Amino acid sequence: MPAGGRARRVPVRPILWDDVMQKLWSLLERWLGVVAMLALFSLVVLPAVQVILRGVFNSPITGLEESTRWGLIILVFIGSPLLISANEHIRLAEFIDFLPRPTRVMFERVILLVSGVSLAVVAVAGGLSIWRNFGTRTPILDIPFWLFAAPMLVGFAVSAAGYVWYAFRRKPPTVDGPTPVI
């Protein structure tokens, strides 16, 4: 105890919304990365198995094409949120890169917000489509439509939330300078 008989007070760091969201986003990215990696693995293995079985044994597996299509759907839609934090989404930045930094940051925030709102609208439309076609199934493997389309809904919803969060967080979005032309 310090002189005076009082216990020393340790300052408590407040829990910031940005810290919580960053930890949640990192965890979500890790899980989505594992799922996307497994989907990519299936895109390599399933067609190879099909080619070997068809070419060597003349006995292809029925429905393997539909399984491969589902793997591609999973890879594209579950993998798309992984591009947000790395700022690797497709964009035409040639004009914006030559603007002053504060203007670029403002444009980046507006672009992220508009992208998030747009993807939220698409996610709602996808959810409505799943709802309307809830009882239908795929033709060959008889997969329920809601399960077949679930990666699309999850990918769009997570991407929309990520874009909106990155638009409103305190730390400015990643803004790279103009790429030198050689």
Amino acid at 114: V
pLDDT, position 1: 54
Type and span of the H or E element at 23: helix 17-56
137 three-state secondary structure:
strand
pLDDT, position 178: 47
Partners of 144 in the beta sheet?
A: 137
pLDDT, position 6: 66
CA gap 22, 72 in Å, rounded: 28
Q: How far is CA 20 from the centre of its chain?
A: 18
Which tokens belong to 31? 């899980």
Judge whether 165 and 84 are in contact, CB under 8 Å: no
The mean pLDDT values, 10 residues at a time, for the chain of 182 residues are 62 68 89 94 92 88 88 93 80 78 87 94 96 91 91 95 86 56 50
pLDDT, position 174: 61
Residue appearing with tokens 């934090």: 85
pTM of the model: 0.77
Residue appearing with tokens 């959810």: 127
Partners of 137 in the beta sheet?
A: 144
Which tokens belong to 105? 């940051």
Residue appearing with tokens 């996808």: 126
CA gap 157, 145 in Å, rounded: 18
Side-chain-facing half-sphere of 62: CA atoms under 13 Å: 4
118 three-state secondary structure:
helix
pLDDT, position 7: 64
144 three-state secondary structure:
strand
The number of residues making up the chain comes to 182
